[in-house]
């Protein structure tokens, strides 16, 4: 079905979604939802690009704004979260959203005063509005990550205020494993602005054509190479890593790993940029478990799971060392997870090393 849609490149994201919905009646609501997400991404791309000129740099409230995870929020973290939230609300297709920058999942009824959701509010969105934002003031690539689940329509969470018991139960319902995702993707703000998405049947990459204001299909059916010569980790943490992880990377450095390749290192420190390169060139990106951060750094619900869905759909693997990231059911919204993802054979080598060390 997706091949039919993608017979030719030059297809816009808007048309792609309309054709997907036409061919898949159960996906009728997706064009409206993706129109909201892609418009928000275009707005965020513009905000990031112009931030040095418009003064949208540095920390919010002079460093006084801290999110629930204890991280200082950048001005752009807060503004991009608002842009996405507003864009998603007005699609009318969303029941609940969870974001890196929100303490708990929030309800998003079309009319904020109204807690009544209609039957079209059928999705839950999870996102990190500006991943890698510590990099943004230096002009280094950043990105938006999102995942879409089916929304339990019995479940309503009003916006703001403290939660009722029913609402707390609903919150529990947003904690779904990656295997329940119906779509995920990212937008990379870099030399070009890329929008990469999976609906569970391959990975499709679009590039923003600023002259016409549309994302145009430039990378149909992305497949990650099976082996590689690139690893991408914060190597300063290496002495603290689990032994199997450390030993595998040491072999890759020396060219004595399974492929015999001598690896080189590439690390931006922006997950979206590092994963985008991995999808296109192959490689292994990760934020493994270490002595300080037993669960790594990246968040399962809105970073780990959506990116793992993309990586698997592109033919790669994603593991926490001991199991598939996609199968982990989050217990908390901001739960962290160790991640090692990328080229199939190389990630398998890490999985084998962990299995041997048991």
At a CB cut-off of 8 Å and minimum separation 6, what does 60 contact? 72, 73, 74, 75, 77, 78
When asked if residue 320 is in the footprint of ligand AHM (CB under 6 A), the reply is no
Shortest reach from residue 314's CB to Mg ion, in Å? 20
CB-based contact 258:353 (threshold 8 Å): no
Q: What secondary structure letter does DSSP report for 82?
A: H
Q: Which residue is nearest to Mg ion (CB)?
A: 131
Shortest reach from residue 72's CB to ligand AHM, in Å? 10
CB-based contact 193:36 (threshold 8 Å): no
* Window of 33-41, 128-136, 238-246, 310-318 that interacts with ligand AHM by CB under 6 A: 128-136
When asked if residue 131 is in the footprint of Mg ion (CB under 5 A), the reply is yes
Shortest reach from residue 311's CB to ligand AHM, in Å? 14
SS (H, E, C) 98-111: EECCCCCCEECCCC
When asked if residue 269 is in the footprint of ligand AHM (CB under 6 A), the reply is yes
Shortest reach from residue 300's CB to ligand AHM, in Å? 12
Q: Judged by CB, which is closer to ligand AHM: 217, or 341?
A: 341
The DSSP secondary structure of 213-255, one letter per residue, reads: TEEEEEE-S----SS-SEEE--GGGGGGB-HHHHHHHHHHHHT
Q: Which of 29, 77, 101, 128 binds Mg ion (CB under 5 A)?
A: 128
From residue 279 to residue 298, the character string flagging contacts with ligand AHM as x (rule: CB under 6 A) and all else as - is --------x---------x-
CA atoms of 308 and 133, how far apart (whole Å): 21
From residue 44 to residue 63, the character string flagging contacts with ligand AHM as x (rule: CB under 6 A) and all else as - is --------------------
> What is the Cα 216 distance to its own chain's centre?
20
Q: Judged by CB, which is closer to Mg ion: 65, or 120?
A: 65
* Window of 12-20, 173-181, 264-272, 327-335 that interacts with ligand AHM by CB under 6 A: 264-272
Output phi, psi for 320, to 5 deg. Answer: -95, 10
CA atoms of 189 and 191, how far apart (whole Å): 7
When asked if residue 101 is in the footprint of ligand AHM (CB under 6 A), the reply is no
Q: What secondary structure letter does DSSP report for 125?
A: E
Contacts to ligand AHM by CB under 6 A: 71, 100, 128, 131-134, 234, 269-271, 287, 297
């Amino acid at each position: 079905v997706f091949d039919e849609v993608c017979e030719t490149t030059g297809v816009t994201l808007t048309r792609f979604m309309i054709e997907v919905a036409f061919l898949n009646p159960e996906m009728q609501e997706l064009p409206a939802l993706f129109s909201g997400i892609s418009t928000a991404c275009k707005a965020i791309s513009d905000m990031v690009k112009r931030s040095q000129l418009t003064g949208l740099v540095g920390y919010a409230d002079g460093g006084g704004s801290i999110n629930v995870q204890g991280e200082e929020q950048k001005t752009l973290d807060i503004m991009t979260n608002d842009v996405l939230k507003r864009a998603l609300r007005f699609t009318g297709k969303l029941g609940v959203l969870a974001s890196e920058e929100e303490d708990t999942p929030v309800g998003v009824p079309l009319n904020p005063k109204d807690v009544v959701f209609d039957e079209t509010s059928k999705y839950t969105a999870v996102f990190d509005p500006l991943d890698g934002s510590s990099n943004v003031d230096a002009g280094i690539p950043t990105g938006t990550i999102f995942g879409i689940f089916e929304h339990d329509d019995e479940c309503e969470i009003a916006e703001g205020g403290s939660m009722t018991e029913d609402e707390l139960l609903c919150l529990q319902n947003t904690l779904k494993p990656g295997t329940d995702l119906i779509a995920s993707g990212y937008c990379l703000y870099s030399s070009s602005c890329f929008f990469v998405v999976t609906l569970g049947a391959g990975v499709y990459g679009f590039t923003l054509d600023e002259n016409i204001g549309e994302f145009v299909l430039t990378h149909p059916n992305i497949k990650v190479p099976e082996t590689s010569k690139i690893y991408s980790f914060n190597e300063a943490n290496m002495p603290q890593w689990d032994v199997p992880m450390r030993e595998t990377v040491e072999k890759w450095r020396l060219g004595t790993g399974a492929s015999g390749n001598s690896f080189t290192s590439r690390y931006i420190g922006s997950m979206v940029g590092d994963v985008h390169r991995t999808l296109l060139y192959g490689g292994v990106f990760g934020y493994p478990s270490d002595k300080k951060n037993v669960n790594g750094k990246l968040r399962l619900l809105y970073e780990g799971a959506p990116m793992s869905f993309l990586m698997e759909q592109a033919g790669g693997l994603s593991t926490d060392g001991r199991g598939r990231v996609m199968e982990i059911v989050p217990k908390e919204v901001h739960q962290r997870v160790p991640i090692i993802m990328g080229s199939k054979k190389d990630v398998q080598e890490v999985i084998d090393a962990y299995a041997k060390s048991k």
